[in-house]
């Protein structure tokens, strides 16, 4: 996700009119708190110079903290999946940045849950068919490691989202990117 005007910079917003990706310098915030490019910012309001605009208090469509919380949604399953749903259902859905992190967080949480359930079922089946413990033990260790590794990765992803950095999760972020467009 690169800025349309500066290919070497990451986009932090999308113009509400033309849907063009914008970096921090190109992004202008309109009186409604939404992001616009310089060409489409509402003309009837005096705007600060490029790169110095700040979102209007309480009406911004981008929240790095909410984007970060999307990656921690799997911890209190299923209640906390509400955070990405709120992002996708509310005013935040107008921001490609927010949609991307909401979908990425949902897919990440679902992947961790599916991996955990699959490992538990595999261990249970191995036990039910009578395989000895030394054969099941490696799978049990992997199953045990999923939670702490998933938690550490989720905190890392949340930190990156809060700092407006790209969060690339192999096999997941591509899906999120397609859904966010």
What three-state secondary structure class fits 2?
strand
Q: What 8-state DSSP symbol labels residue 63?
A: -
CA distance linking residue 35 with residue 54, whole number of Å: 10
Structure confidence at residue 70 (pLDDT): 79
Number of Cβ within 10 Å of residue 71's Cβ equals: 29
| 13 phi/psi in degrees, rounded to 5 | -160, 175
| Alpha-helix runs per DSSP H in the chain | 64-69, 82-89, 96-128, 133-162, 173-180
Rg for the chain, CA atoms, rounded = 20
- Residue 31 predicted with pLDDT over 60: yes
Structure confidence at residue 44 (pLDDT): 58
CA distance linking residue 75 with residue 73, whole number of Å: 6
> Which position has the higher pLDDT, 80 or 53?
80
Give me 149's structure tokens: 């590794």
What is the torsional sign of CA 121, 125, 131, 133?
A: positive
pTM, 2 dp: 0.61
One DSSP character per residue, 12-55 reads -EE-TTT--EE-TTT-EE-TTS-EE-TTTS-TTS--PPTT---P
Structure confidence at residue 129 (pLDDT): 93
């Amino acid at each position: 996700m690169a800025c349309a005007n500066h290919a070497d910079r990451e986009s932090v917003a999308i113009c509400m009119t033309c849907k063009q990706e914008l970096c921090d310098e190109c992004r202008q915030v309109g009186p409604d708190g939404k992001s616009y490019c310089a060409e489409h910012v509402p003309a009837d309001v005096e705007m600060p110079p490029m790169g110095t605009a700040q979102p209007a208090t309480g009406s911004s469509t981008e929240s790095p903290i909410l984007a970060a919380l999307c990656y921690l949604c799997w911890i209190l399953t299923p209640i906390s999946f509400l955070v990405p749903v709120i992002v996708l259902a509310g005013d935040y859905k107008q921001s490609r940045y927010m949609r991307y992190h909401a979908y990425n967080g949902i897919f990440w949480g679902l992947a961790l849950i599916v991996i955990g359930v699959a490992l538990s079922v595999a261990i249970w089946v191995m036990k039910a068919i009578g395989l000895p413990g030394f054969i099941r033990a490696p799978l049990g260790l992997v199953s045990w490691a999923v939670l702490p590794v998933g938690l550490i990765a989720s905190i890392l992803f949340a930190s990156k989202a809060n700092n407006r950095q790209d969060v690339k999760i192999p096999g997941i972020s591509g899906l999120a990117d397609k859904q966010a467009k």
